[in-house]
Structure 1
Amino acid sequence: MRSFKDYCLLFLKGIGMGSADVVPGVSGGTIAFITGIYEELLNSINSFDPEAFKLLFSFKLKEFWSKVNGSFLLPLVSGILLSAVSLAKIITFLLDKHPIQIWSFFFGLIIISSISVAKEITKWNFITALSCISGIVIAYVITVVTPSTTPNELWFVFISGAVAICAMILPGISGSFILLILGKYAYIMSALKNLDTAVIAVFGSGCIVGLFTFSRLIAWFLKKFHNYAIALLAGFMIGSLNKIWPWKKAELFRFNSNGEQEPIFERNLLPTDYMAETGQSPLIIQAILFMALGFMMVVIMEKIAFAIKKANEKKQS
C-alpha cells in the first residue's frame, strides 16, 4: 500500500525519467535505477502478458489494474508525459536558436555515456573487441547513408517509437539517441511541443508494441550475451558521434508540409572551416563548455547511482 506522499514521489520520479528521455545520452532507465524503482518498473512492464490482456478484454478492470500494478504506473507515466511535453518546448527552441551549443552538449553526453556503458563490460576478449568495432562501423555507416531528414510518414514514426522505447527502459542507453540516429529527434520534439495528437498517438503506439516485443528480446540478449551486447552498444554510440557533430553545413534542402525549408543532407565541417563555409561564428569556446557540461551531468549521475548502490548493499548486509 502506498500513501499520497508515495504517489507524489512516483510522479516526481516520472518527471525525472521524462526529462532524461528527451535528452540524448541520458537514459530514463538510469533515472529509474538511481531512484530505486527500476526493478518494479521492469516487473510492471513484464506483467502485460496474455493473462493481463485476457482480464482487460473480459472487462475485469480491477483485476487487470492490480495485475499490471496500475497504481504504480499511472503516476509514473503521468510524470514522464508531463515532463517530456514541457521539456520538448525548451529543446526545440534551443535547437533552433542555439544549435552549436546544444549539439555540443549532446556530443559530450554521448561520449561520456559510451564510456559509462563500456565500463559494464566485465571481460574483454577478441569477440568483445570485434563487437565494439562492429558497432562503431555499423553506426558510422548508418549516419553517413541516413539523410538528415527521414520520412515523416506515420509508418516510420511508428517504427521509430518501437525502436526507441527499447533503449529508454535500459540503464545507460538513451531512446532520444536512437531517435537522433533515425533522424526523428527534432520531429518528435516538435510534435510534443505542438501537441500533434496524430504523431504522438502513432509514436506512442510504436512504443507500446516495442515495449512488449523487442524490449524483452533485447533484455534477454543483454542477459545471455552481456559483454558482447554491451560492447556492441558502446561501439554504436561512438560510431554515431558523426551524426551529432555540432558544426554542419546543409547541402540539400526540401520543403516540408508547412512550406518550410529543411535540410536533407548535411556535411560535417571542422570548426576552423565553419566560418568560411557558412559565414557564422563556430563558437568554439562555448561548444567546449557545453561539451564539458554534458560530461559533468553523466559523471554526477554515476556517482549518485554508485552511492545509492553502496547504501543498499550496506542495508542488506
Structure 2
Amino acid sequence: MKYLVDLLKGMVIGVANIIPGVSGGTMAVSLGIYDRLISSISHLFKNWKDSLKTLLPILAGAGIGIVAFTYTIEFLLSAYTLPTALAFVGLILGGVPILWQSLQEGLKKHGQTFSLTHGLAFVLMFAVVTVLPLLQGSEASFTAIQLDPLSLLKLFVIGIIASATMVVPGMSGSLVLMVLGYYYSIINTITSFLTALRTGNMDLILPNFIVLFIFGIGVLIGIFLISKAIEFLFENYSSLTYSGILGLVLASPFAILYNTHALNDLQSSDALPFALVGIVLLVGCFYGIYQLGKKEAR
C-alpha cells in the first residue's frame, strides 16, 4: 500500500512539474515526502537499496503524471492561451508571500538585514528572467530541437538547469524552461513521441527519443549533483538564495505572457470573455497557492 501511495504522490508531483509556476518541490513538501525524496537522492550511492525503494515509485508516478497531463497542457495553451497564462501568473504570484517570509527568516537566522548583496542577487535574477525571453526571439518557443551536437549539448545543459529548480520548494522547473525558450519544444517533443509510438511511426520515434533521452539524462544528473548544493545553499546562504529566487519569481509573469504570446488574444473576438476568465483564474490560483504555502509554513 505504501508503494501505491508513493506512486500516486509521484503522479501529483509530475503534473505539478508540467505546469509553469507550480513547484514540484513545493508539492513534495505538501505531500509530506520532500525530506525522504532529498535524502534518498543525496544518499543514493551510500544507501542505494533503501534509496531506490523510495525513489522508484515516486519517479514512476511522476513519469505517469507528466505523460498524462502533457496533452492537456498543450491543448489549453493552444486553445485558451490568455486564460491559461493568467492562471500560471496567479500560481507564480501566490508563492511570493511565503518566499518573502522565508527570506525574512533567513535574515533573522543569520542576524542579517537586507543588504546591497541581497539587492544585487534580486536584481540579477530579475534581469536574467526579463532579458532571456527577448533574446530568444518571438518564435523561439515554437522551434523544433535540432539533432546536431551543439543543440543536443545545449539541451543537456538545459536539463541540468531545469532539474535544479525541480528540487527547490517555491521554484518551477517548467517555468525555467519557458524562460529559456525550451518549454514548448519539450512539450511538443513528448506529445510527438507518444503519438509516434501509438501510430508506429518509426521516422518520428527515434529523433524524438534522442531529444527526450538527452534532456532526461541532463535532468537526472542535475538532480543528483545539485541536491547537496541546494542543501548547502539553504543552510549557509538562505537569505541570499531566497533573494535570487524572489527576483526570478517576480519577473516570471513577464516571461510567461511573452513566451506564450497570450496578449495576442486581446485582439481576438473572444478578448473580453478570455480576459474575464483569466482574471478569475489568476485570483483563484493565487489564493490556492497562497493557502497551500501557509499550510506548509505551519
Deviation per residue, 1:119-162 (Å, 9 max, x gap): 21123422323322332223212232233416723223222211
Count of residues in correspondence between the two structures? 267
Please say which structure displays the higher CA radius of gyration: 1
> Which letter maps to 1:88?
T
Measured in 1, the distance between the counterparts of 2:223 and 2:259 equals 35
1:42 maps to: 38
5+ residue gaps, structure 2, are 108-112, 146-150, 195-207
Measured in 2, the distance between the counterparts of 1:269 and 1:136 equals 21
Measured in 1, the distance between the counterparts of 2:95 and 2:264 equals 23
Q: Mean Cα displacement is larger for which, 88-97 or 149-158?
A: 149-158
Measured in 2, the distance between the counterparts of 1:155 and 1:97 equals 32
2:190 maps to: 192
Alignment of 1:252-271 (within 5 A): none
> Does the 8 Å CA contact 1:107/1:246 hold for their aligned counterparts?
no
> Does the 8 Å CA contact 2:163/2:173 hold for their aligned counterparts?
yes
1:129 maps to: 119
2:292 maps to: 301
> Does the 8 Å CA contact 1:161/1:206 hold for their aligned counterparts?
yes
Offset at 1:165? 0.8
Offset at 1:237? 1.6
1:222 maps to: 234
Offset at 1:305? 2.4
2:63 corresponds to which of 75, 81, 90: 81
Deviation per residue, 1:140-197 (Å, 9 max, x gap): 1223223341672322322221111111111111111111111111221222223342
Offset at 1:226? 0.7
Deviation per residue, 1:213-245 (Å, 9 max, x gap): 244334322322110110111111212322112
> Does the 8 Å CA contact 1:106/1:291 hold for their aligned counterparts?
yes
The higher-RCO structure (CA 8 Å, 6+ apart) is 2
> Which letter maps to 2:97?
I
1:12 corresponds to which of 8, 22, 28: 8
> Does the 8 Å CA contact 1:191/1:200 hold for their aligned counterparts?
yes
> Which letter maps to 1:184?
Y
2:148 maps to: none
Tell me, yes or no, if structure 1 residue 291 matches structure 2 residue 282: yes
Alignment of 1:195-214 (within 5 A): 195=194, 196-214=208-226
1:159 maps to: 157
Measured in 1, the distance between the counterparts of 2:159 and 2:128 equals 21
Deviation per residue, 1:74-129 (Å, 9 max, x gap): 11111000001101110001111111111111111122223332221123422323
Measured in 2, the distance between the counterparts of 1:269 and 1:15 equals 32
> When the two structures are superposed, what TM-score results if normalisation uses the length of structure 2?
0.81
Alpha-carbon spacing, 1:162–1:193, altered in 2? closer, same or farther (3 Å): same
5+ residue gaps, structure 1, are 53-63, 250-267, 310-317
Offset at 1:17? 0.8
Measured in 2, the distance between the counterparts of 1:159 and 1:114 equals 28
1:233 corresponds to which of 224, 229, 245: 245
Query: Which structure shows the bigger proportion of residues in helix conformation?
Result: 2
- The SS at the match of 2:35 is helix
Alignment of 1:86-101 (within 5 A): 86-101=68-83
Measured in 2, the distance between the counterparts of 1:10 and 1:247 equals 34
> Does the 8 Å CA contact 1:100/1:247 hold for their aligned counterparts?
no
1:65 maps to: 49
Measured in 1, the distance between the counterparts of 2:227 and 2:22 equals 18
Measured in 2, the distance between the counterparts of 1:218 and 1:230 equals 12
Query: Which structure shows the bigger proportion of residues in strand conformation?
Result: 1
* Superposition RMSD in Å: 2.5
Q: Mean Cα displacement is larger for which, 96-105 or 114-123?
A: 114-123
> When the two structures are superposed, what TM-score results if normalisation uses the length of structure 1?
0.76
> Does the 8 Å CA contact 2:15/2:69 hold for their aligned counterparts?
yes
Identity %: 25
> Does the 8 Å CA contact 2:81/2:260 hold for their aligned counterparts?
no
> Does the 8 Å CA contact 2:98/2:294 hold for their aligned counterparts?
no
